[in-house]
Amino acid sequence: MFLVSLAAYCSGMGGSSVRNSQRRMRMTEISKQERPASGGIGGPAPRPLAGRSALVTGGGRGIGSAICERLGAMGALVAVVYRFDQRSAQATVDRIHAAGGQAFALAADMGALASIDDMLARLDRELMARTGEARIDILVNNAGVAPNGTVEQTSEQMFDEVINVNLKGPFFLTQKAIP
């Protein structure tokens, strides 16, 4: 199983090269060029993750959605995990399908172990139906929360939610996902 650290994934996205105006200009020009739907010269785009399954928490919006779309484009069957925003998660799934990939959405509260267990049971059933085996090859622990306010305004309940969603949930999800 591949375990992806969001910080490691994002570290390649920044840096001084992005600040270089010439490089930005070249990247803008490249992104404006029309590219064949096949992925380029000589045929279909490479799909190195074909036959693999990926679970992405916080996959409905922002960086999580982008990670889901990239994994789908690379051939993985993507489970898009969301907490509240089913519409955004379904939009991510729809974009993956429109690009020729495979995905489905699952609801889970990453701060509640019972919800994680329930989501994993639904994931197993979905993977069995689609692939014949309940195996997670790639796990991206992307979901997270940040309280809005100062240290003085942070209640014990807010603090517990941050610890549960950002630390406890990903730890136990990873533990349960290990074959």
> What CA–CA distance (Å, rounded) separates 23 from 28?
8
Give the chain's domains with CATH numbers: 2-34+46-177 (3.40.50.720)
Which whole number is the average pLDDT over 29-45?
48
More confident residue, 36 or 28: 36
Q: Using one digit for the tens of pLDDT, what is the confidence trace for 101-141?
A: 999 999 999 999 999 999 999 999 999 999 999 999 999 99
What pLDDT, on a 0 to 100 scale, did the predictor assign at position 35?
40
- Which value, in Å, is the radius of gyration of the alpha carbons in the chain? 18
- Threshold 0.75, pTM exceeds: yes
Q: Using one digit for the tens of pLDDT, what is the confidence trace for 40-93?
A: 555 567 899 999 999 999 999 999 999 999 999 999 999 999 999 999 999 999
3-state secondary structure the chain: CEEECHHHHHHCCCCHHHHCHHHHHHHHHHHHCCCCCCCCCCCCCCCCCCCCEEEEECCCCHHHHHHHHHHHHCCCEEEEEECCCHHHHHHHHHHHHHCCCEEEEEECCCCCHHHHHHHHHHHHHHHHHHHCCCCCCEEECCCCCCCCCCCCCCCHHHHHHHHHHHHHHHHHHHHHHCC
More confident residue, 32 or 104: 104
What pLDDT, on a 0 to 100 scale, did the predictor assign at position 3?
54
What pLDDT, on a 0 to 100 scale, did the predictor assign at position 22?
37
